[in-house]
Structure 1
């Protein structure tokens, strides 16, 4: 194990796999990135691991599957494979939880992680996706493994009005699976105003496996209505000042009426059949995700040496889960969250010379997060949690001779959480007995810490550029789950300390010739007190708090031997160990609910004639055999199940009829492979042993004006 740890730590890279993968469709491979330091930067100046999923890449993947969890699993090497359901449980980044943002607005609910944050927007309104890998505190609570920031579309035309209309159909080779989607985008500029307006709707059909059998109705994306609307209006006050306001709304509701036929783990899958019992009073899904934002930029303060960015935002989120009888009386639960926040960001030029400069960024973040998990009948599963976070920060960046970039910063996290009084739910144990409800007195929890980051990038030659970085995150992830399992009468007796993650990485990237690019990175992240799901004696899930080390390696090769073809691939691998007894003995492994299977992504993209583009994507998930079953029962416990390997191919093609019309087609699971997602194996539960989607095709028509 030590040998594996050292070899992983001595490798290097950063991943921009999806960005260069799309190079046949766009010549701009030096993308502008804003997520890494909240200001526009060329990717060649960023001394950390970044993946950019460009607009054309998103649109290409949309032809295959509109589910953004699927799009990301094919474009981000170190992100876990998806579950094929509405939940993104297990889809961790570098073995830790990820913070999801839309234009910088937090979508995640770390106080009670509902695992619906990745699937919180329709991809039709996304201009690009910026993925910052590794622990980060730059956007606040919850970024233990990194950040996924959906950057929405902006007006890029000087016309008063321009638009993009898309209509698509999906279907399988079995009856009753037809789905439809339609989106309309309008944008333009009128004098000093610019705007973007978008509406998108999708109605999915039944979803079936490779044998034509309905997939499980639990958290199913089948027979679901998905809605997305966006309005963004900007006004250029003058050449230095701009104000912009936006609203983005997303909703999803399922009316799937299939009955649940529970299978047998490892033998027969859980499926949907007949008509459901209709125990659910509210449709599963996310009935609301409202995001409001106002942004102000001033590029000319204090004689032109300082710029200011200020933005204020609000998010109102609610997601609804399926019926559960794990607690007395049964019912459906909701995770409800409201966030109010503001960010002040100043950027002052310290000095500037030929090919060299230094700047300092400083400001403060303010966030109020109000989260609760309740049942439909009003019973509390978690108490009301009201968190206020005030975080001043400072960051210094030095660029020398366009070769050397040095970044270093500090951020002071000051969190206060007010927890309400509540009664725990009476739950049903595996042996049929009950745990009694108890009254828990709330109170105030206080957390504060100084976190830091330091990074260096040295662009030696085009064929080799090196970087190394150290970064920290600070989060109070899954506080609600800890509180809801209280056995004490007061929250002061519970282990609720925050997670502080130290992330170290070393990377190399470069262009060996005109047609060969590469990137490789290694990382190690440590935390004195992590948080993982483990199974208790009565098979209930609890949170284990213990010291952790996660380490891994990822990288890719990209080849463009001619203008009409490109191909390449990526590889990612990770391992995680923990010291359960807190004695420095890291002989135990973090389970598979966080440590994703190693995976290879490969692709070939060709344009045999200017108007025709065709491509083939491959995802190969390796087997994961990290644990032994119980010697007496022969069964694994939750998170430790053996995961077999599988390989899936997707096909996509598009044809430009003329400058206005385009026809696209895609086939997901091209060879109709019968397999199960990784979560079906490592969860070790009969109800979660499910098959994946069989072959499904998409036909899309696009009109641009």
Structure 2
């Protein structure tokens, strides 16, 4: 079975694909990457598919939409489309959950996935986004589909003060939709050895309306929301070999939207917001806090041929959901997570010849993750979960004749989770039946595993560079959700085994001419015990643990025929199958909550004169029709709804008044297309059937000094 799937994926990769404008794979093939192996290296040395969204591209997309989930959907081919909500449910990478980092600090909460980990930072403070596609263990728990690492800005000049000031307004052609944003970035060198970066951003959104001017659903809405982001980064160079750096990044979002909910009818009438809310005393939904503190030390020569990097970090995160009456007496829930971590990386040169070298990267990671989901009134929806992960690792990298790169590594996961005693919540099911609370005895869970990776890249010539790799991830995903639906009085009787993913990848990339770049990639990922949300007979959501195979293809083409114009695009396709009875029968498909529809991204960017830049982005999501409705009821179950195709165009432009001042104008959904995001269809629930925003414009004034 596995060999057949590999062959199919490899054959399909012979089709023509494309990738988004200005991605570093296309424009700057020597770009330095840190995420792939925890050290700086050229992208030409990585035996796998990596997407890097650079600062220019982030700023260009910011002109259209400041929501980071929207920026990612237009720049990462194998990432599912955005829901347009505060939740990034369903926005998987290669059909699996992704681990989100900020400068290497984990943002995801895999013990209880709150689906808020993508929207935890303002794009104005991001220098680049590194996306490592495919299972990875290099940063620990949660990277089944890959890693998204937001790399924040650093000081790059010798001035004492330099910066960027931005102010902008957003709005739709309907009343009440006006919003505004402002950001200030400062950086510089106070002395020869002491540098800094400071930033603050604020955004206030207006009402969000569809193409006909109707208020979108207030559930998970980004409307009437205040978003804050602050950063302070201080660095000191003791000498050319020793540097210490301390940073703080804080983010918060709170909504004061007070719209009533008018539930529609799936497939026919959208759920909308109208009138006023019920007047319940509720906490504003959003992410009230996301504090990230990091202290790092670099020694380029701790001893002969060896460098050292040490990171200490803290993340304090809380997100708040809207009011729900699915449990007795109703209420709002929170996911609260605190992480304390330390990483020590050594990099030793084994040999260094004229055209060949070898090095060993090794060290240890320590992470303590304390996560819980509670209601605002103090009731526990999950028990307290306290995870300690100690993981030594080693990676060997060999470069031969500047053409052949060989990598191989091992990581030993030693994880212990202490689970507290708790009482499950009394719930009201969709059919009106009542489930009584039960007491669940906590205890200790222990997980140990040795995971590895190996990859080869051969840069034959500029036109063709081939790569292949095998990598693994190890994660304890959604333990909290499993525990909160306990029917057993002890955790030892529950299915809490981890997810181990094996990822196989084969691809080619290169520059055929000075004006044409490409990449073709095929992949297969398998897991003996995956995790997918499915709908039980009483229409409640449960987690299915079963063997899985996910496979797909992706790629890009980029054309730069002249200096004043470039264009291209990308294509991604995937499929996922499972064996629910673990009997070797893989005829059941993984549902659409994980397996997204094929996606085409296309763009054109032109600079007809030096001061003016204009461009157009297109997103085409294919139809996804993989399941049949129930023969008796005619209804789809959760995750299996048919998703219609849709096409969206975004316009972006800028005008350089002079070397300091710039004006930018962007229009999202340029032709005011009426459509629904994919989640509205595949969720197959009346409450989730919502429209997407209609045409929305953004105007930004920028001053750079």
TM-score, normalising length: structure 2: 0.98
| CA drift at 1:112 | 0.1
The equivalent residue for 1:486 is 486
Residue 225 (structure 2) pairs with residue 224 (structure 1): yes
State whether residues 5 and 551 of structure 2, in contact with CA within 8 Å, keep that contact through their aligned partners in structure 1. Answer: no
Give the Cα–Cα distance (whole angstroms) in 2 for the partners of residues 432 and 565 of structure 1.
60
| CA drift at 1:16 | 9.6
DSSP 3-state at the match of 1:226: strand
| CA drift at 1:487 | 0.3
DSSP 3-state at the match of 1:694: coil
List runs of 5+ in structure 1 lacking aligned partners.
none
| CA drift at 1:9 | 3.5
- The correspondence of residues 459-538 of structure 1 with structure 2, limited to 5 A, is 459-538=459-538
- The correspondence of residues 52-63 of structure 1 with structure 2, limited to 5 A, is 52-63=52-63
Residue 297 (structure 2) pairs with residue 290 (structure 1): no
| CA drift at 1:10 | 4.0
The 1:514–1:72 alpha-carbon spacing in structure 2 relative to 1, beyond 3 Å, is same
State whether residues 210 and 695 of structure 1, in contact with CA within 8 Å, keep that contact through their aligned partners in structure 2. Answer: yes
Cα deviation per residue 1:345-394 (whole Å; 9 max; x = unaligned)? 00000001111000001000000000000000000000000000000000
The equivalent residue for 1:369 is 369
Cα deviation per residue 1:310-360 (whole Å; 9 max; x = unaligned)? 000000000000000000100000000000000000000000111100000
Give the Cα–Cα distance (whole angstroms) in 2 for the partners of residues 313 and 22 of structure 1.
29
DSSP 3-state at the match of 1:643: coil
DSSP 3-state at the match of 1:129: strand
| CA drift at 1:29 | 4.1
The equivalent residue for 2:253 is 252
The 1:326–1:60 alpha-carbon spacing in structure 2 relative to 1, beyond 3 Å, is same
Give the Cα–Cα distance (whole angstroms) in 2 for the partners of residues 6 and 238 of structure 1.
53
DSSP 3-state at the match of 1:547: strand
DSSP 3-state at the match of 1:268: coil
Cα deviation per residue 1:595-645 (whole Å; 9 max; x = unaligned)? 011000000000111111111000000000000111101111000000000
Cα deviation per residue 1:231-260 (whole Å; 9 max; x = unaligned)? 000000100000000000000000001110
Cα deviation per residue 1:565-595 (whole Å; 9 max; x = unaligned)? 0000100000000001000110100000000
DSSP 3-state at the match of 1:248: strand
- The correspondence of residues 329-478 of structure 1 with structure 2, limited to 5 A, is 329-478=329-478
The 1:572–1:309 alpha-carbon spacing in structure 2 relative to 1, beyond 3 Å, is same
| CA drift at 1:7 | 2.0
The equivalent residue for 2:120 is 120
State whether residues 22 and 56 of structure 1, in contact with CA within 8 Å, keep that contact through their aligned partners in structure 2. Answer: no
The equivalent residue for 1:157 is 157
The equivalent residue for 1:263 is 264
The equivalent residue for 1:96 is 96
DSSP 3-state at the match of 2:59: helix
Give the Cα–Cα distance (whole angstroms) in 1 for the partners of residues 281 and 434 of structure 2.
23
State whether residues 11 and 520 of structure 1, in contact with CA within 8 Å, keep that contact through their aligned partners in structure 2. Answer: no
Give the Cα–Cα distance (whole angstroms) in 1 for the partners of residues 268 and 593 of structure 2.
21
| CA drift at 1:11 | 5.0
DSSP 3-state at the match of 2:530: coil
Cα deviation per residue 1:19-48 (whole Å; 9 max; x = unaligned)? 745799xx6442110000010011111111
Cα deviation per residue 1:148-174 (whole Å; 9 max; x = unaligned)? 000000001100001110000000001
State whether residues 25 and 51 of structure 2, in contact with CA within 8 Å, keep that contact through their aligned partners in structure 1. Answer: no
State whether residues 144 and 475 of structure 2, in contact with CA within 8 Å, keep that contact through their aligned partners in structure 1. Answer: yes
Give the Cα–Cα distance (whole angstroms) in 1 for the partners of residues 634 and 551 of structure 2.
30
The equivalent residue for 2:214 is 213
| CA drift at 1:433 | 1.5
Give the Cα–Cα distance (whole angstroms) in 2 for the partners of residues 142 and 15 of structure 1.
29
DSSP 3-state at the match of 1:452: strand
The equivalent residue for 1:307 is 307
State whether residues 17 and 571 of structure 2, in contact with CA within 8 Å, keep that contact through their aligned partners in structure 1. Answer: no
Cα deviation per residue 1:50-94 (whole Å; 9 max; x = unaligned)? 000000100000000000000000000000000010000000000
DSSP 3-state at the match of 1:124: helix
List runs of 5+ in structure 2 lacking aligned partners.
none
The equivalent residue for 1:183 is 183
DSSP 3-state at the match of 1:451: strand
For the aligned residue pairs, the C-alpha RMSD in angstroms reads 1.4
State whether residues 179 and 205 of structure 2, in contact with CA within 8 Å, keep that contact through their aligned partners in structure 1. Answer: yes
Equivalent residue pairs, number: 702
State whether residues 258 and 274 of structure 1, in contact with CA within 8 Å, keep that contact through their aligned partners in structure 2. Answer: yes
DSSP 3-state at the match of 1:680: helix
The equivalent residue for 1:278 is 279
The equivalent residue for 2:660 is 660
| CA drift at 1:12 | 5.0
Give the Cα–Cα distance (whole angstroms) in 2 for the partners of residues 380 and 613 of structure 1.
53
- The correspondence of residues 227-246 of structure 1 with structure 2, limited to 5 A, is 227-246=228-247
Give the Cα–Cα distance (whole angstroms) in 1 for the partners of residues 24 and 503 of structure 2.
29
DSSP 3-state at the match of 2:60: helix
| CA drift at 1:4 | 6.9
State whether residues 228 and 248 of structure 1, in contact with CA within 8 Å, keep that contact through their aligned partners in structure 2. Answer: yes
| CA drift at 1:180 | 0.2
State whether residues 11 and 521 of structure 1, in contact with CA within 8 Å, keep that contact through their aligned partners in structure 2. Answer: no
| CA drift at 1:280 | 4.8
Cα deviation per residue 1:442-500 (whole Å; 9 max; x = unaligned)? 00000000000000000001111000000000000000000000000000000000000
Give the Cα–Cα distance (whole angstroms) in 2 for the partners of residues 556 and 650 of structure 1.
19
Residue 678 (structure 2) pairs with residue 678 (structure 1): yes
DSSP 3-state at the match of 2:546: coil
| CA drift at 1:17 | 3.5
| CA drift at 1:279 | 2.4
Give the Cα–Cα distance (whole angstroms) in 2 for the partners of residues 693 and 280 of structure 1.
28
Residue 645 (structure 2) pairs with residue 649 (structure 1): no
| CA drift at 1:430 | 1.9
Give the Cα–Cα distance (whole angstroms) in 1 for the partners of residues 371 and 91 of structure 2.
22
The 1:19–1:668 alpha-carbon spacing in structure 2 relative to 1, beyond 3 Å, is closer
Give the Cα–Cα distance (whole angstroms) in 2 for the partners of residues 392 and 431 of structure 1.
49
Cα deviation per residue 1:260-293 (whole Å; 9 max; x = unaligned)? 0000000000001011113252000000000000
The 1:15–1:392 alpha-carbon spacing in structure 2 relative to 1, beyond 3 Å, is farther
| CA drift at 1:8 | 1.1
State whether residues 18 and 569 of structure 2, in contact with CA within 8 Å, keep that contact through their aligned partners in structure 1. Answer: no
